[in-house]
Amino acid sequence: MNYQIIQQHAGRLNAWLLAIMALVLPLSTSALSIVALLILAVWLVEGGYRQKLRVIIANPVAMAVLVYLALYVIGLLWTEDLASGLDVLSKYWKLMLLPVFLTAVRRDLRRVYAGFFLAGMTIAMTMTYLAWFGFLHYADVTTTHLTHGTFHVIYNPLLAFAIYLLWHEVVWGRLRDALRWPLVGLIGLMVLNMFITEGRSGQIVFFVLLALLCLQIFRKSILRAVLVLAFLLPAIFAVGYHFSPVFHGRVDRAYSEICQFQRNPNTSVGLRLLFWQNSWEIIKKSPWLGVGTGDFQSAYAEVNKRQSPRMGATDNPHNQYVLVLCQLGLLGLAGLLGIFGTQIRQAFVRPDGWERLRLAFPLFFLTIMFTESYLIIAETGFLFSLFSAVLYARKVSPETRI
C-alpha cells in the first residue's frame, strides 16, 4: 500500500472519527480526549497541508478563532506569571483543534454528525432516567441528583442544544412520518429531563433557544410569534415549577441566594456574584489590555484578600466574558465577540437549510457563557470546535491562493 492510498484512507477515517467524537462528547471526557488526539494524529499522517491551509484561511470562523487565540499568545508579553500563562493557553487546546476539524469534516455527513451527537445525548439521558427510577447507582448519583458531581453544569446545556437540534430536524428535516413522531416523543423525554436535572444554565438557554425556534417557525408573522411566546414560555416555566421538585427547588434557591448575597455569599449563586464583583476591580484597573494571559489568579487573590478575606480565591470567575476581560481587557472581549459575530454573519451565506442552526449555535454559546467559562471546559470546548466545523465548513476552489 503506497503512501497516497494511506492518505486517502486517513481522510475517510478522520471524517468518521469526528462522528465518534460527536457520540462520546456527552459521555466520557477521557474518550473525548483520546478521539481528539487520534483525529490529530491521522490528520498529520494524511498530509495535504497546503490545501488544508487554503481551507483554513478561506474560512472566516476559523480565522476569527485563530485571532482570538493569538491574543492569548500576545497576552504573554505583559503577564508576570509566564508558567500560568502557558497553562491558560493549554486550556484552549480544544479550540486550537478547530482548523483540524474544519479540514477533516465532510459536508455530506453533517446530518450524521448531528445524529451521532443526538445518539450520545440519548444514552446520557437514559442513564439519568435509570438513576431517577432507582435502577442505576454509582458515585454521588441519587434519585434527586441524577448526574455525577457537577456534571449538570455541562449536561443541561448540551441537552438544550440537543432539543433544538431535534426540533430543527422535525420541523425542517426531510423525514418520513414514521420517524417524525418517535423524534417528537424523544423531544418530550428530553424536555422532561431538562426539568428533573439540576443545570440552571441549561434551563436558561433552553428557554432562549425555544424562543428563537418560535421566531424561526413564525418568521412571517412576528406578532403571532410574540403571542405564542407570551403563552408558551410562562406555561412551560409554570408547569416545570409546579410539578418538578428539582426545578422548583433550584429556582427558589437561586432567588434566595441572590437575596442573601450581602449577608452570605458562600452559596452557588452567591459565589458567582462575588467572583464577578471582585473581578470588576481587576477590570477597572486594566480595562484595555487586562492583567495578561496568566495573571488572573494572582490578581484575583490580591483583590479577594482585600475585599472578601474570609472567602477562598478562585482561578475561574465562572463567566467567559468576565474572564477574558480580566485577562485581556476590552481587546480580548472584542476578539471573543468577533468569533460569534462572524458566525452570525456567516449564518445566511449559504441557503442550504442549515441557516437556522448556524444562527442558533452562536446564540447558544453567547447565553451559556454568562454563567461559566465554557470555552475552556472539555465537553463544551469540543462542542464548539466540532460543530463550528460542521456548520461553517465552506467549499474552497482549488485555484484559491495562499
Each residue's pLDDT, cut to its tens digit, for the chain (402 residues) gives 566 777 778 889 999 999 999 999 999 999 999 999 999 999 999 999 999 999 999 999 999 999 999 999 999 999 999 999 999 999 999 999 999 999 999 999 999 999 999 999 999 999 999 999 999 887 788 888 899 888 899 999 999 999 999 999 999 988 887 889 999 999 999 999 999 999 999 999 999 999 999 999 999 898 999 999 999 999 999 999 999 999 999 999 999 999 999 999 999 999 999 999 999 999 999 999 999 999 999 999 999 999 999 999 999 999 999 999 999 999 999 999 999 999 999 999 988 999 999 999 999 999 999 999 999 999 999 999 999 999 999 876 555 544
Burial of 177 from C-beta contacts in 10 A (0-12 / 13-18 / 19+): exposed
**pLDDT given at position 287:** 98
Q: Rounded to whole angstroms, how far apart are CA atoms 381 and 27? A: 14
Burial of 85 from C-beta contacts in 10 A (0-12 / 13-18 / 19+): buried
Q: Rounded to whole angstroms, how far apart are CA atoms 402 and 397? A: 12
Q: Which residues contact 46 (CB under 8 A, 6 or more apart)?
A: 7, 10, 11, 14
Q: Rounded to whole angstroms, how far apart are CA atoms 289 and 305? A: 23
Q: Check: CB of residue 35 under 8 Å from CB of residue 17.
A: yes
Q: Rounded to whole angstroms, how far apart are CA atoms 281 and 304? A: 10
Q: To 5 degrees, how large is the angle CA 359–CA 153–CA 113? A: 45
Q: Check: CB of residue 163 under 8 Å from CB of residue 209.
A: yes
Q: Check: CB of residue 208 under 8 Å from CB of residue 236.
A: no
**Residue whose C-alpha is closest to residue 40's, from 88, 103, 86, 91:** 103
**pLDDT given at position 1:** 54
**Residue whose C-alpha is closest to residue 66's, from 15, 112, 34, 100:** 100
Q: What is the DSSP string of 38-107?
A: HHHHHHHHH--HHHHHHHHHT-HHHHHHHHHHHHHHHGGGG-S-HHHHHHHHHHTHHHHTHHHHHHH--G
**pLDDT given at position 177:** 79
Q: To 5 degrees, how large is the angle CA 128–CA 131–CA 132? A: 85
Q: Rounded to whole angstroms, how far apart are CA atoms 61 and 102? A: 10
**pLDDT given at position 327:** 98
Whether the predicted model's global pTM rises above the 0.85 cut:
yes
Length of the chain, please? Answer: 402
CA-to-CA dists, residue 285 to 40, 78, 239, 303, 402, angstroms: 40, 14, 46, 11, 41
**pLDDT given at position 149:** 82
Classify residue 279 by its DSSP letter: H
**Residue whose C-alpha is closest to residue 396's, from 17, 96, 60:** 60
96: amino acid identity, one letter? M
**Residue whose C-alpha is closest to residue 171's, from 189, 187, 193, 159:** 187
The SS3 of residue 399 is coil
Cell of 181: 413522531
Q: Which residues contact 242 (CB under 8 A, 6 or more apart)?
A: 248
Cell of 185: 416523543
